[in-house]
Structure formats: C-alpha cells, structure tokens
Structure 1
Amino acid sequence: MPAMVGAVKVITVSSSSIFNIGDVYSMSPDSSAKTYAGGGSFNTGDGIRVHLANSHTRVFDADAIDQPITGT
C-alpha cells in the first residue's frame, strides 16, 4: 500500500544513519571503526587520578582489512 507523507523537514542526517520516506522492505545500516587507546583512556567519573610515567600505544596493524562490510 502506498504511503501518504506530508511535509518533511530534515535538518541533518549523520554518516551512519538511514533516512527513508515511504514504503520500504528492509533497511540495514552498516559501519565500522577502529579505536586506539593508551593507558588511562576511557576513564569516567569524578576525581580520577592517572599517573603514567612512560606510556605508549602501538598502532602498527599488519592486516589491511579488519571488519569488511560487503554484501549489503
């Protein structure tokens, strides 16, 4: 059955989202990301103290593809 849609105002659509108006059978957004974090990263809370004298994050990655997104 056809969809009846009135006025639509789109302000923004992010890079990993889907915007659709009307009939649709299937929607499947895909994304992948790689995050490097060193010692003391991703801490949350009040009054956190992190003392790292000599911290290194090694980011060498020998393989070219980690999370392939294919067949979508």
Structure 2
Amino acid sequence: MPAKVGAVKVITVASSSIFNIGDVYSMCPDSSAKTYAGGGSFNTGDGIHIELENSNTYVYDKDKIDQPVT
C-alpha cells in the first residue's frame, strides 16, 4: 500500500544493513568477513584448559579473495 513519507534524516547505515522507505517485496542483505585467530581462540564450553607455548597466526593471503559475495 503506497504511503506518503515526510522528511527523513539518515545519520548512518551499517555495512550489512538495509534502509528502505516504501513498498518492498524481498530484502536480502549480504556481507562477508575474514577472521584471523590464534590457537584455542574459538573454544567454548565448561572447564576448557589450553596450554600454548608459542602460537602463530599467519595472515598473508596470496589470492586475496576466498568467497566473493555476488
């Protein structure tokens, strides 16, 4: 149903957000991210014990594109 909209002031829109005024059928925001983390970084649960002497995280990526969002 069409509507009349008055003045709108948009201060900021985040990178994976959608801003819409009016009728819309479907909205599908896409985003991608590359995360680097050392050993034992994403462990979850109760009573986890991790011993790391030296942990190296290599962030060099020669192809630069892993999974493009189209």
Does TM-score exceed 0.5, indicating one fold? Answer: yes
Q: TM-score, normalised by structure 2?
A: 0.65
Describe how 1:29-48 pairs up with structure 2 within 5 A. Answer: 29-48=29-48
Cα RMSD between the aligned structures?
3.0
Structure 1 unmatched runs, 5+: none
Equivalent positions of 1:11-22 (< 5 A) are: 13-22=13-22
- Which residue pairs with 2:23 in the alignment? 23
**Alignment size in residue pairs:** 70
TM-score with structure 1 setting the length: 0.64
Amino acid at match of 1:63: D
Moved segments of 4+, more than 3 Å = none
Of 30-39 and 44-53, more deviation after overlay is shown by: 44-53
Encode CA deviations 1:2-38: one digit per residue, 9 max, x unaligned.
Answer: 1467xxxx8x753212132320133221111011122
Percentage of identical aligned residues = 80
Unpaired stretches in structure 2, ≥5 consecutive residues: none
Q: Where does residue 53 of structure 2 map in the other structure?
A: 53
